[in-house]
Amino acid sequence: MQLKENVSLKPYNTFGINVSAKYFANFTSLDELKELLTNSKFQTPDSYLILGGGSNILFTKDFDGFVLKNELKGIGLVKEDDTFHYVKANAGENWHQFVLHCISNNYAGIENLSLIPGNVGASPMQNIGAYGVEIKDVFYELEAYHVNDNAVQKFSLEDCEFGYRESVFKRKYKDQFVILNVTYKLRKQPLFNTSYGAIEEELKKMDVKELSIKAISQAVINIRSSKLPDPKEIGNAGSFFKNPTIPNEKFHSLQNEFPKIVGYPFGENETKLAAGWLIEQCGWKGFREGDAGCHAKQALVLVNYGNAKGEEIYNLSSKIVESVKDKFGVKLEREVNII
Ligand SMILES: Cc1cc2nc3c(=O)[nH]c(=O)nc-3n(C[C@H](O)[C@H](O)[C@H](O)COP(=O)(O)OP(=O)(O)OC[C@H]3O[C@@H](n4cnc5c(N)ncnc54)[C@H](O)[C@@H]3O)c2cc1C
């Protein structure tokens, strides 16, 4: 563990934004984390940021504090019962590698979440989700370190208060805890979930004779690779905005005005709108100003074509929010963490 000063964060965020951190260090154990947090340079006014894979962050300025990169590694089976394997992964494990590990051991439940960038530790932060599955569906518990109380605390499913791209760690406990490890409850007998998106179609294309979690994972990998820009080629953080939810009544009145509006039932009284569709209707798809842009195939994904500043991407996102509000009266919320 080494505390470095004035480190460029460009390699550490998938948007590829070139800002610097005043202090930067990796930690590979809880002891190292504690040592960093008690460093004499780390004083209360100094902010700190726990960094995973940097795939859900937009840096808009230099970070005037400590960036602590989580490198806690290790995966293990902690217990099992008739129905589940309980698998614990340390927060610094790469998410997709963890998914592949589970698939090769026949632990079922997260195959639909294949190829999501980032690390295990961030998976509960926004209750990651894709193709009809969210972390809350397989979550058992996690351990997190309270920075001020100096203590490790366990969180159950209820404690995390998961919602759509939400958890307590994004709201009431924001910046208070460092997630150390997460235990997932994974099925011995898979419950295949192929109804979402183009999974069925892709499985047919792949000519899959016998359905398996491995086949579903591969189908999801194929679909995602064909649809989403690869951050190694074009900087991005996936969906920039959440899909907004509105009361059914408002949805019906929007339907009268915009018959093609895309919406899905969300609970009994609300409808979830496709933010990408709203953005596209406002003419942003494929828009580019300097190196900041809105992806040509996925309007929900904002991109850095090379040397965009975080502020430029943020300003573009504000213009998008404004125009969607003007046209549809719907407020878009950013999914990406703005730093
Ligand atoms: C191409 C692409 C596709 C994507 N697709 C999806 C998708 O389908 N579904 C989805 O939900 N997301 C998706 N994302 C977003 C992103 O991959 C996830 O949100 C992921 O969980 C972020 O992980 P990370 O390790 O990169 O987090 P980071 O970006 O490093 O951090 C995100 C936030 O979590 C905090 N944090 C990270 N680790 C910890 C920790 N151990 N303790 C406390 N706080 C922590 C950070 O401080 C920050 O506020 C996509 C991103 C990209 C680039």
State the catalytic residues.
165, 239, 335
Q: Angle at Cα 216 formed by Cα 214 and Cα 221, nearest 5°?
A: 95
Point out the ligand 1 atom lying closest to the alpha carbon of residue 127.
11
Q: Name every protein residue with a CB atom under 6 angstroms from any ligand 1 atom.
A: 14, 49-57, 70, 91, 116-119, 121-123, 125-126, 128-130, 178-179, 228, 231, 236-238, 337
Give phi and psi for 124, each to the nearest 5. -80, -20
Burial class (CB in 10 A: 0-12, 13-18, 19+), 22: middle
Nearest CA to ligand 1 atom 17: 117
* Separation of alpha carbons 166 and 127, rounded Å: 6
Burial class (CB in 10 A: 0-12, 13-18, 19+), 251: buried
**Antiparallel, parallel or unpaired: β 151-156 and 288-289:** unpaired
User: Is residue 30 within 8 Å of residue 145, measured between CB atoms?
Assistant: yes
* Separation of alpha carbons 103 and 218, rounded Å: 11
Instruction: Indicate the pTM of the whole model.
Output: 0.95
Point out the ligand 1 atom lying closest to the alpha carbon of residue 57.
29
Point out the ligand 1 atom lying closest to the alpha carbon of residue 123.
21
* Separation of alpha carbons 321 and 241, rounded Å: 9
Tens-digit pLDDT profile for the chain (339 aa)?
A: 788 999 999 999 999 999 999 999 999 999 999 988 887 776 655 688 999 999 999 999 999 989 999 999 999 999 999 999 999 999 999 999 999 999 999 999 999 999 999 999 999 999 999 999 999 999 999 999 999 888 999 999 999 999 999 999 999 999 999 999 999 999 999 999 998 879 999 999 999 989 999 999 999 999 999 989 999 999 999 999 999 999 999 999 999 999 999 899 988 999 999 999 999 999 999 999 999 999 999 999 999 999 999 999 999 999 999 999 999 999 999 999 999
* Separation of alpha carbons 121 and 179, rounded Å: 6
User: Is residue 52 within 8 Å of residue 237, measured between CB atoms?
Assistant: no
Reported as type and span, the H/E element at residue 200 is helix 199-205
End-to-end Cα separation, the chain, in angstroms: 24
* Separation of alpha carbons 26 and 11, rounded Å: 14
* Separation of alpha carbons 246 and 290, rounded Å: 34
* Separation of alpha carbons 18 and 12, rounded Å: 9
Q: What count of residues does the chain have?
A: 339
User: Is residue 69 within 8 Å of residue 25, measured between CB atoms?
Assistant: yes
Q: Angle at Cα 157 formed by Cα 176 and Cα 111, nearest 5°?
A: 105
